[in-house]
Structure 1
Amino acid sequence: MKRVMIAGATGYLGRYLCAEYQHRGWYVIALVRNARHASPIAADQLIEAQATQSATLKGVMTGVDLVVSSVGITRQTDGLGYWDVDYQANLNLLRAAEHAGVAHFAYIHVLRAAEMAHVPMVAAKSAFVAELQRAKMTSTVVAPTGYFSDMGDFLTMAQGGRVWLFGDGSQQINPIHGADLAAATAQAVEDGLDGLDVGGPDVFTQRELAELAFASLGTAPRITFLPDVLRRIALRLLPYVAPRRINGPARFFLSALALDMVGARRGTQHLKTHFDNTLSGTTSAPVLPRSNERKNS
């Protein structure tokens, strides 16, 4: 049986990656920081290690055929920044994989990273991708457009009575559910792809996203369009007026808003259903474990 290690296994996407690979018949090893806080998770084995501390990774990848990493931070906590996690932690994983003779390394990046090189989070991720592509190992870089969970901001604004957009709201995106992204990632690896720009099955303009949010609420759309110059001013001011844990995610969000974020259309799950489930307090595509064998390292 092939063995896969999922790094970032307790995150939103990581849990779906574990479930997808277990469904495909792999022996799934979840790399977690704290096994007691990891359940429920669809993994055959849990290994405790800190990816930011290379010494804790010694020997954990013995016998592993594939490493899939979704390690990264959206909010900076514990004094760690993007270069500590999105770059260095992933580099530590890569070096450990090389030392163990792992055949393949897959990494979850972001779409249109070149156009967002000025964003600290994207810069750190891109620097790791450069290291990965120089490594003497087969690799796959998957760049998603955006998660369904990210689109919750539109629903939150609609619940507040108004959605605020920059410009004319014509930029497009096809966000993807975590389960569909996990399946697309596993298939890209199986197909031997070097990279995949990927999104969900439905393409929306930002205006259509706002309208969908209001439709889910059953209320008339109330959308205000702000001059895009305000977005650009905010990008310049954020590093000076907001703490790092806020300005980092905000700079990524504001930069992505100016771009069309459309990737190859994959998956079967639709944003309307996700919005409806969110409002009703239910979830789609549950992530259920088959077995758990805990191991501390």
Structure 2
Amino acid sequence: MQTVFVAGATGYLGRHLCAEFSRRGAYVIALVRDASRARELAADSLVEAEATRPETLVGVMDGADLVLSALGITRQSDGLGYHDVDYQANVNLLREAERAGVGRFAYIHVLNGENMRTVPLVAAKTAFVRALQASALASIVIAPSGFFTDMGDFLSMARSGRVWLFGDGSHRINPIHGADLATATADAIEAGQDWLDLGGPDAFSHTALAELAFETLGRPARITHLPDNLRRLALRVLPWLTPRRIHGPAQFFLTAMAMDMVGLPHGTHRLADHFRSMAKSSSEDRPARYAVGTGD
């Protein structure tokens, strides 16, 4: 039985990775900062440790065949930066994997990382990829185009009545569901690949994404295309006007919107179905409105 050590296990993708390897019969060890957040996690054992503190990692990977890291900052506000987590914490994991004699190390990166080196989030990830590739460990880098969950912003804007896009909206993306990415990752590892750029089964232009969001809600499409120089201006001023937890992800998305983010198509989950599920869930969560004499 293969033993798989998953870092970032309680995140969106980490949960899918644990479930996929568990389904394939692996013994899954999940690295978590807080075991209370690991409810319903498909793992055979939990390890509470801080990847940013290498002394807490000593011995946790002994006997593991594969380390799989989906570790990175999303919107945390605990004082740590991208260099601390996306780079250094992953380096700490890599060094412990080397010490423990782990057979292989897999890392979830981002598509087009080399073209986004001015974005601190991506620069930290790219720096770790270089460290991983310089290691004597066999490695694999998985570079997804984007997740279904990231596309929820289009639905939110459509629900508010208008979708705002930069430029002509022609850049394309094929986002992927977390379960499909986990399956593709496991397949790539089994096949002995060392790098995989991937996305979901359907590619959309940004305009098409906006149209799909309005169609899902049953509303006429109202899309405004803003000059791209406003996007570039936002990239310059956001770090001065907002905290890192806001401008960090914004810098990434604003930069990614200026290029095609299309990886090799994988998976069976469709974004249209995901949008319908999100719209239904939001409708069910919204309290009923009662008004006198308004016809509502």
TM norm structure 2: 0.94
Deviations 1:120-147, CA, capped at 9 Å, x for gaps: 0000000000000000010000000000
The one-letter code of the counterpart of 1:85 is: V
The yes-or-no answer on 1:248 pairing with 2:248 is yes
1:175 match: 175
RMSD value, Cα:
0.9
Secondary structure of 2:207's match? helix
1:201 match: 201
1:97 match: 97
What percent of counterpart residues are identical? 64
CA distance in 2, matches of 1:270, 1:219: 20
CA distance in 1, matches of 2:36, 2:12: 17
1:188 match: 188
2:78 match: 78
1:295 match: none
Secondary structure of 1:269's match? coil
Which residues of structure 2 form unaligned runs of 5+? 283-296
- Between the two proteins, the alignment pairs up a number of residues equal to 282
CA distance in 2, matches of 1:45, 1:115: 38
CA distance in 2, matches of 1:158, 1:21: 36
CA distance in 1, matches of 2:3, 2:76: 31
CA distance in 2, matches of 1:74, 1:37: 16
2:294 match: none
Which residues of structure 1 form unaligned runs of 5+? 283-297
CA distance in 2, matches of 1:62, 1:251: 38
The one-letter code of the counterpart of 1:220 is: P
Deviations 1:194-247, CA, capped at 9 Å, x for gaps: 100000000000000000000110111000000101001111111222222211
TM norm structure 1: 0.94
Secondary structure of 2:259's match? coil
CA distance in 1, matches of 2:238, 2:119: 12
Runs of 4+ with deviation above 4 angstroms? none
2:57 match: 57
1:258 match: 258
CA distance in 1, matches of 2:275, 2:233: 31
The one-letter code of the counterpart of 2:17 is: L
Alignment of 1:33-182 (within 5 A): 33-182=33-182
CA distance in 2, matches of 1:257, 1:76: 23
* Higher RCO (CA < 8 A, seq sep 6+): 1
The yes-or-no answer on 1:30 pairing with 2:30 is yes
CA distance in 2, matches of 1:110, 1:270: 20
Shift of 1:65: 0.1
Shift of 1:248: 0.9
